[in-house]
Amino acid sequence: MLILAIESSCDETACAVGKFENDSYSVLSNIVASQIDIHALYGGVVPEIASRAHTEALTKITKEALETSGKKISDIDAFAVTYTPGLIGALLTGVNFAKGLAYSQNKPLIPVNHIKGHISAAYIENPELKPPFLALCASGGHTSIVDVRSYTDFVTLGRTRDDAIGECFDKTARVMGICYPGGAEMDRLASLGNENAYRFPSAAISGDNLDFSFSGLKTSVINTLHTAEMKGEKYKKEDIAASLTKSIVSSLIIKLHSALDMTGYKTLVIAGGVAANSHIREKIGEFCSQRNTKLVIPSRKYCGDNASMIAFQGYFEYLAGNVADLSLNASGTSRNIS
């Protein structure tokens, strides 16, 4: 079966074609048109501009994805699309475009949850991976610990109560004059800094829960920067990045440790844009080997927003009978993953 998938929940317009046959899955094309250069002018994503840019890009990247895959639109068996969560206007552009494709080709329309999609990216290069397992989804807009009970049954065990990790990296980077999105640059700087130069608070909320709060950590870093500026003191961006990363990694490990104990799972998946972070990959890798837990992280091109992950999750939703009719609507927020 061939699935063409569309992703437009934030600032990347993406289209992919995936081929699925029993237990053999492959990506035939994976096209991502990033809007980062446009939003960088404003220091963050401007929702209205994102929607317009998606509208302009969708037809072009869909043609490109079909061409690269060597398939025609009439070869496609179903159309998958991200319908939640994300920026509502941005989601609507993709949902309406996918509806048009499904209607014109008289083929099924498959709605896909973006967070499920991120986690599903782990299957792309790891065909041996099978649920159940524990997953951490960490991106610019989401931070959740998820019990992946089956290919389609996901239960959120913990989440951030305010900002996502990516937001924490991006906003602290911005105060240091680093261009949006600053996550990748913070990763590079952290490798050059002293992680013990500053003591930033933990983002792991104390008590019997699996929740995080990255807002306090973000504010603490920003206050440190502003205080230094007001006093005319110099600081090293490398030390700030390294100390912030240390706090983030140890907060994640505290909650992942509890979640793995609680579920008894021996496999952990880390997904989402922030899963590209080399320190998180390395330190959680060490933590998992100490616990004798298998760690699966998608390669970097499948960590950030892409449509291959939507094609993969779309396939599993299709097998479970989760298809939509043309009344499908987008939803900006989803408290539960469905």
Query: Where do contacts with ligand KG4 occur on this chain (CB under 6 A)?
Result: 10, 139-141, 166, 169-170, 181, 183-184, 186-187, 272-274, 276-277, 304-305
Give the one entry of ligand KG4, Zn ion, none that residue 170 binds, where binding means its C-beta sits below a cut-off of 5 to 8 angstroms depending on kind.
ligand KG4
**Cα gap 72→25, rounded to integer Å:** 19
What's the order of all strands across the beta sheet hosting 143-148?
154-159, 143-148, 133-138, 267-271, 294-296
Q: Which secondary structure element, helix H or strand E, spans residue 143, and what is its range?
A: strand 143-148
Chain-centre distance for alpha carbon 179: 20
Answer for the pair 123, 134: CB distance below 8 angstroms, yes or no. Answer: no
Site string for Zn ion, 99-138 (x = CB under 5 A): ----------------------------------------
| 297 three-class SS | coil
Answer for the pair 156, 144: CB distance below 8 angstroms, yes or no. Answer: yes
Q: Which of 16, 327, 67 is nearest to 6 (CA)?
A: 16
Site string for Zn ion, 76-95 (x = CB under 5 A): --------------------
Answer for the pair 311, 5: CB distance below 8 angstroms, yes or no. Answer: yes
Comparing CB distances to Zn ion, the nearer of 44 and 108 is 44
Give the nearest distance from C-beta 178 to ligand KG4 in angstroms.
Answer: 10
Give the nearest distance from C-beta 120 to Zn ion in angstroms.
Answer: 12
**Cα gap 51→8, rounded to integer Å:** 8
Dihedral sign, Cα of residue 288, residue 279, residue 45, residue 308 = negative
* Residue 305 contacts Zn ion per CB under 5 A: yes
Comparing CB distances to Zn ion, the nearer of 107 and 159 is 159
Give the nearest distance from C-beta 35 to Zn ion in angstroms.
Answer: 13
**Cα gap 100→86, rounded to integer Å:** 21
Give the one entry of Zn ion, ligand KG4, none that residue 30 binds, where binding means its C-beta sits below a cut-off of 5 to 8 angstroms depending on kind.
none
By beta carbon distance, the residue nearest ligand KG4 is 273
Give the nearest distance from C-beta 74 to ligand KG4 in angstroms.
Answer: 31
Q: Can you give the length of the chain in residues?
A: 338
Comparing CB distances to ligand KG4, the nearer of 94 and 183 is 183
Site string for Zn ion, 249-288 (x = CB under 5 A): ----------------------------------------
**Cα gap 332→85, rounded to integer Å:** 5
Give the one entry of ligand KG4, Zn ion, none that residue 276 binds, where binding means its C-beta sits below a cut-off of 5 to 8 angstroms depending on kind.
ligand KG4
Give the nearest distance from C-beta 316 to ligand KG4 in angstroms.
Answer: 20
Give the nearest distance from C-beta 246 to ligand KG4 in angstroms.
Answer: 14
Give the nearest distance from C-beta 248 to ligand KG4 in angstroms.
Answer: 9
Answer for the pair 73, 43: CB distance below 8 angstroms, yes or no. Answer: no
| 129 three-class SS | coil
* Residue 313 contacts Zn ion per CB under 5 A: no
Comparing CB distances to ligand KG4, the nearer of 186 and 330 is 186
> Which are the contacts of 74, defined by CB distance < 8 A and separation ≥ 6?
105
* Residue 35 contacts Zn ion per CB under 5 A: no
* Residue 139 contacts Zn ion per CB under 5 A: yes
The binding site for Zn ion (CB under 5 A) comprises 139, 305
